[in-house]
Amino acid sequence: MIELKTVGKCSGYKEILEKINIEAIPECERNSLDDLIDTGAELLGIFLGGSPVGFFVLREYRSIIYLAYFAVSREHRSEGIGSRALKTLIEENKDRGIVVEFESPAGSKKDDMAARRRDFYLRNGFYETGWYTFYDETEFEIACTSASLDIGTFTEFTVYLSKLVSDHIPKPYRKDSRD
């Protein structure tokens, strides 16, 4: 059974989750879990049989929960743990929309992996929104757990987040209206 539990900076589990962070998140995209917690993010451990096997990093803003990071340990990938964890997260937050960005397969140098990631989210309760962002020379699609994205709130969130993490906060756009 999958359990999701908040993990703090002083928890012994955080060290295990940091190892998963290092193995799973590319260095150019990775932040330490301590830095994320220090800027107000919630570290939510994914536990299987009482042991941590992955994590979510979440940022809450008004009616949305932004899924900033999601990782499962190498040893437990392709076992359905990620799908079960994501479905549990969605179920536990039915009253709030969860928003995620992932590389757009059309704009990715790694088309196959980007397509697999996109399909994973769409299979597990997320919807395409028609909104995109662009940063670090990569186009990202924005998906959410409700049929439509509250783009006003999401845009406010990006402004709020830019005050916490100043090195990248892109402006959402639609492909038919990108400048």
Q: What is the pLDDT of residues 20-36, one digit of tens each?
A: 999 998 887 888 999 99
Count of C-beta atoms within a 10 Å radius of residue 33: 22
Q: What is the CA radius of gyration of the chain?
A: 16
In residues, how long is the chain?
Answer: 179
- Please tell me the total count of domains within the chain: 1
Residue 109 has pLDDT above 60, yes or no: no
Tokens of 167: 């090195």
Q: What is the pLDDT of residue 153?
A: 93
Query: What's the pLDDT tens digit per position in 61-105?
Result: 999 999 999 999 999 888 899 999 999 999 999 888 999 999 888
State the average pLDDT for the chain. Answer: 89
Of the candidate ranges 87-96, 113-122, 169-178, the one whose mean pLDDT is the lowest = 169-178
d(CA 119, CA 2): 22
Question: What is the average pLDDT across 98-113?
Answer: 77
Tell me the residue range of the domain where 25 lies: 2-177
Q: How far is CA 178 from the centre of its chain?
A: 24
Query: What's the pLDDT tens digit per position in 126-155?
Result: 999 999 988 777 889 999 999 889 999 999
Q: What is the pLDDT of residue 3?
A: 95
- pTM reported for the whole predicted model: 0.90
For residue 89, the domain's CATH number is: 3.40.630.30
Q: What is the pLDDT of residue 168?
A: 63
Say if CB 93 and CB 65 are below 8 A apart: yes
Q: What is the pLDDT of residue 179?
A: 47
